Structure formats: structure tokens, C-alpha cells
Amino acid sequence: MSFNKTQLIVFGLIGLVVLILALVLLDVLPGLKSSSGQPTVITGSVKIWGVFDETSDYQTVFANLQTIYPKVTVTYQGFANTKDYESSLLDALAAGQGPDIFMIRNNTLAKDINKIIPVPTTLFSYVNFQNLFPQIVAQDFATQGRIYALPLSIDTLALIYNRDLLDQAALEPPQTWEDLIKDVPALLKTDKTKNISRAAAALGGSRNINNAADILNLLMLQTGTQMTAPDFSKATFASQEGVNALSFYTQFADAKNNAYTWNASLPNSIDMFSQGNLAIIFDYHSAIAQIKARNPFLNLGISAMPQPQTAQKSITYPNYWGLAVSRQSRNPNLAWNIILALTTNTQNAQAYLAAAQKPPALRSLVNNYANDPILNVYAKQILIARDWPETDSNAIAEIFLRAIEAVLSNANPLAALNQAETQVSQIINKRL
């Protein structure tokens, strides 16, 4: 068989490539190896932006990362509050100078999805994701089989109580909402003019109750309220279930109701609880540091969030952040490798949690807190956390607070929810 000139040239080039590869593999020629004979070392820098965390929370974790990526510099820039963080982040992204990794809220993926890129399936499979993290993380940070963010910690609403006040009344922390209503008379204290001097629980109000909108959100979910249409095209919570939840909540601020224990003239719930004038609040683990700063000697306890007596399964409400990779990152694969090393490696996750004093996000770490009087409940509750995609949680919280205030001003609960539903639907449609 004879070959023409073109075929001979092609065969010659193929042979040359094979020869070069063979020489590289035999170390005769330098190639994919460095002069030391080791694989090429990954180099670069990864900037992380977040909120609430201190740089010191990552000190041990970043030291661990140095052993894996000795030529990669990882830095963290923290912000003290969400307003400054979100404003600075938007400005940086608009200028094309944003970080490689930044935190997003657990319920705003729909708003943030165009700013971030999902983890490559070659780096982290969806099956592994489901095995490592609670269901809420898939609900919040994954869509259509793609994973967009991963958390280091998950916070949830729990019942925080004054042990001394409940002991004096010979009461245990209520496990159901019905139990709480029964406990109100024993915990409530009024003066001669019927003014509340000691409240049983921070429920029913709006501006002076920490996370009032989140508590109402939880009650709606516990009563089976369908918060949005299946395609997330509109809000749908103005239903009988939604009315039941709103009416249940506001009864605690209705002076004509037997459950009355709150009004707008009372101090902020955190302040009142810290002063020993409030028996029960419903708040996140992050609130405990605020309480202890105000009153380090307060004898407080933690119990699971109450459930409806007829509930088939327990639910609580989460509030947390996930690490996501910016579309502007010049090295997204490296950035995702850093996130995976931080969030899925139990040693790194534990080092961060120990420094930050927060509840875990990994399923495998839940039982580590069995003997912790504060974190035990919060750790367990990450497995029963549920929420819904709010898009703009600040705006929707304000809408819910106005609905509460409307009912307390004698508005019809269904009318208040209809107005709130219309306003939330408008927020949803801004995204579409």
C-alpha cells in the first residue's frame, strides 16, 4: 500500500507527538512536571466576603487549607451587618471588583442566581450533597439538580426560656402551642392598672418582637399554608390556613383574649427577656450572645420550637447563609474547591464552628452536640427546618409586619393577608 504526500506528513506529525509524550513521561524532556519532578502546584488567591463572622473564626481553617494549597492565598473580609454587606457587595460586583466567594441568604437564591455559578458535578455530586446536608439546604441552595451554595452553619428558631420563672410557676417548656396558651396565666404578671409587668411570651406583636415575621412564617408553614404557586409565579398564602396562622399569632396581643400577654408599649423582646421580665422568647441561636451581653447571669434554657398539637411532623424556621462562587471569579474551580474544603470536610467545619460558636450544617456533626445545653436543640433542629423562597426577605418581612399591625388595629385577617399576598406577588414578579 502506498501513501500520498499529505498522508505521510500527517503520520509523521502523529509520530512526533507520540515521541514527545513518551519522552515527557520518561523525564527525558520537561513537560507537565516541574523541575523538581513534582506535579505543577496550583497558585492564586481567593477572596471571601461574608457577614457576622470574624476573621479569627477562619484562622484554623485557613491554616489547614495552606497544607492543601500552599501557593494559594485565601482571605476573608467580614461585615458587621447585612445592610453594609449587601450594599458593599453590590457596589463591588457592579465595578467588576467583587470577591471570588460571597455569602447569600438561605431564601434568596432566586434573586442571586444570576450572580453565581453552580458547583461542577465533577467536583461534587448531587447524591453526595444530599447525604451530607439536611433537606433544607437542597430546598434553599439547589435547583434543577445544580448546587449553587453551601453553608457552614444553620440557625433555626427555638424556644428560649427563663428557667427561674418557669420553675417558680412549676412549668416545663411547652412542647405545643396549645400548651403555651395554657401556661400564659401562670407566667403573666400585671399591675393594679392591668399593665403588663412580666410577659409570658413574646408573641402577637410586630416591631418590638425580634423576628416577628419569621415566627408568623413558621406558623403558616406549620398550619400547611401554601406560600406560593408551584411555579413560583405568585404568592398564595391568603388562604384559610394562612388566616388561621395570622389569627393564632395576633391573639397573644389581643387584650380581650385569654392568651393576651403582649402589646406595642412593651420593650423589645430581647431587652425585656434580658431584664428578667419575659418568660419565653422564640429566637435564633445568634440572639443568645446578645442576651448574655446584656445579662450574663440570666439563667436561660433552650427547648425545641413548639408545634401544633395535631402536627404530623415537626417544623421550625431557619436563618442562615451559604458560600457561593461569583460569576466574576477568575478561577471558579479553585473557588469551589475552597468552599468544599470549608463546608464538607468535618475537621474544617468543626474548627470553624468551635471558633464561631455556632450550630452545624453537616448531618454528621449533629450528634456531637448531644451534651451541649445550648447548641443541642439548635443542632437537632437543622434536620426539621423548612422555609420558602422569599426572594427579598427584608421587604417581605416588612409586609408581614404591616399585616400583623392591621389585624391588631381591627382589620379583617383575610383582608390583611390579601393585601400582603398582592404585595409579595409584586416582589416575585420583579424577578421574572
Domains and CATH numbers, the chain: 44-155+319-379 (3.40.190.10), 158-315+391-430 (3.40.190.10)
Q: What is the mean pLDDT of the chain?
A: 92
The pLDDT of residue 391:
86
pLDDT tens across 404-424, in order? 999 999 999 999 999 999 999
Instruction: Give me the mean pLDDT over the 352-381 stretch.
Output: 98
**Model's pTM, two decimal places?**
0.90
Instruction: Give me the mean pLDDT over the 166-174 stretch.
Output: 99
Among 38-47, 109-118, 394-403, the range scoring the smallest mean pLDDT is 38-47
The pLDDT of residue 430:
81
The pLDDT of residue 39:
56
Res 203 pLDDT > 60: yes
Res 3 pLDDT > 80: no
Percent of all residues in the chain with a pLDDT value above 70, rounded to a whole number: 90
pLDDT tens across 10-53, in order? 444 444 444 334 433 333 333 334 444 455 678 899 999 999 99
Q: By C-alpha distance, which of 113, 106, 45, 105 is closest to 76?
A: 45
How many angstroms separate the CA atoms of 215 and 151, rounded? 22
Provide the Cα torsion 163, 158, 303, 54; round to 10°: -80
Among 6-20, 76-90, 117-131, 340-354, the range scoring the smallest mean pLDDT is 6-20
Radius of gyration of the chain (CA): 27
Q: Give me 396's grid cell.
A: 417581605
Q: What are phi and psi of 345, to 5 degrees?
A: -85, 115
| SS3 per-residue string spanning the chain | CCCCHHHHHHHHHHHHHHHHHHHHHCCCCCCCECCCCCECCCEEEEEEEEECCCHHHHHHHHHHHHHHCCEEEEEEEEECCHHHHHHHHHHHHHCCCCCCEEEEECCCHHHHHHHEECCCCCCCCHHHHHHHCCHHHHHHHEECCEECCEECCCEECEEEEEHHHHHHCCCCCCCEHHHHHHHHHHHCEECCCCCEEEEEECCCCCCCCCCHHHHHHHHHHHCCCCCECCCCCCECCCCHHHHHHHHHHHHHHCCCCCCCCCCCCCCCHHHHHHCCCEEEEEECCHHHHHHHHHCCCCCEEEECCCECCCCCCCCECEECEEEEEECCCCCHHHHHHHHHHHHCCHHHHHHHHHHHCCCCCCHHHHHHHCCCCCHHHHHHHCCCECCCCCCCHHHHHHHHHHHHHHHHCCCCHHHHHHHHHHHHHHHHHHHC
How many angstroms separate the CA atoms of 75 and 49, rounded? 9
Q: By C-alpha distance, which of 380, 385, 391 is closest to 428?
A: 391
The pLDDT of residue 431:
64
User: pLDDT confidence of 7, banded at 50, 70, 90?
Assistant: very low
User: pLDDT confidence of 192, banded at 50, 70, 90?
Assistant: confident
How many angstroms separate the CA atoms of 30 and 37, rounded? 9
Provide the Cα torsion 269, 275, 277, 278; round to 10°: 40
37: burial class by Cβ within 10 Å (0-12, 13-18, 19+)? exposed
Q: Which residues pair with 198 in a beta bridge?
A: 189
Could you tell me if 74 and 99 are in contact, meaning their C-beta atoms sit under 8 angstroms apart?
no
Amino acid at position 67, single letter: T
Q: Which residues pair with 39 in a beta bridge?
A: 33
Res 372 pLDDT > 90: yes
